[in-house]
Amino acid sequence: MAPAKILVVDDDIAVRNLIHRFLSKQDDYVVESAEDGKTALALFEQLNPNLVILDVNLPDTTGYQLCQEMQGRTGVFIMMLTSRNDEEDVVRGFEKGADDYLTKPFSLAELGARVAAVLKRQRTVTPAQQQGIVLGDLLIDPGSREVTLNNEPVPLTALEFDLLHFLASHPGRVWRRSELLQEVWDYDYVGDQRVVDVHIGQIRRKIEGNSNKPSMIQTVRGVGYKFEIPSSSVSG
């Protein structure tokens, strides 16, 4: 299996070099790094990375803009890296297509776990997992990792797809946030569990007629979330 290609973009040379050295020591990764948006885009074209670790604050652009531009080209996985931890900033990062969000300061062990978890989303789907899920006008296809609603494509990030597919695969079951983090994020998430709420909100805005009164992804107060199949839907 070919090594995963990772691009690190951060204007702080100490942080950039620390991440670069840490990831380069692992046989599974090929790592390049950039200090600004212009250099990052040039390297992005050359490397065609699987993952970009992207700082929010850059001297010539913002990480949000760069995230959107890069994903518009290849659908690459993006991990936002920032000293901010306000929920508004987290939501903005996910709205621009980020797959994960790591707040400084962070441990290298946590960084390594997050990187491995994001890259796992490229795993091949076995034939047994390729059966599509049809829920009324909503179609979830794990083979192509595509979702359509009323025959229109729904633009989901890799993590949003995994979360929606997991919930829809277990209709009626109530999942705690901690369980969803273990099942979908695939590692012990040490940050704020509200990250689940943020992603649920993003999915609802894309698939629910009224995201304030969701019919499919329902909140179970004090516990977590469950997926309810509309009565007119057929699973297949």
Could you state, in order of their start, the residue ranges of all structural domains in the chain?
4-122, 127-227
Candidate CATH numbers 2.60.40.2310, 3.40.190.10, 3.30.70.870, 3.40.50.2300; the one for domain 4-122: 3.40.50.2300
Look over the chain and give the mean of its residue pLDDT values, rounded to a whole number: 86
- pLDDT per position as a tens digit, 13-26: 999 999 999 999 98
Tell me the pLDDT tens digit for each residue of 127-166: 555 678 888 888 999 888 899 999 999 988 878 888 999 9
Say what the pTM is: 0.72
The answer to whether the CB of 167 falls within 8 A of the CB of 217 is yes
| Confidence band for 219, pLDDT divided at 50, 70 and 90 | very high
Q: Which long-range contacts (CB under 8 A, 24 or more apart) does 41-48 make?
A: 41/66, 41/69, 41/70, 43/7, 44/7, 44/70, 44/73, 44/76, 47/5, 47/7, 48/5, 48/74
Q: Are 52 and 70 in contact, with CB atoms under 8 Å apart?
A: yes
pLDDT of 92 reads: 79
CATH architecture of 127-227: Orthogonal Bundle (1.10)
Confidence band of 29 (pLDDT split at 50, 70, 90): very high
pLDDT(6) > 90: yes
Stretch 41-68: mean pLDDT: 94
Fold matches, 4-122 and 127-227: no
Model pLDDT, residue 65: 93
Q: What Cα–Cα distance (Å) separates residue 211 from each residue in 149, 184, 217?
A: 15, 22, 9
Cα 110 from Cα 1, distance rounded (Å): 24
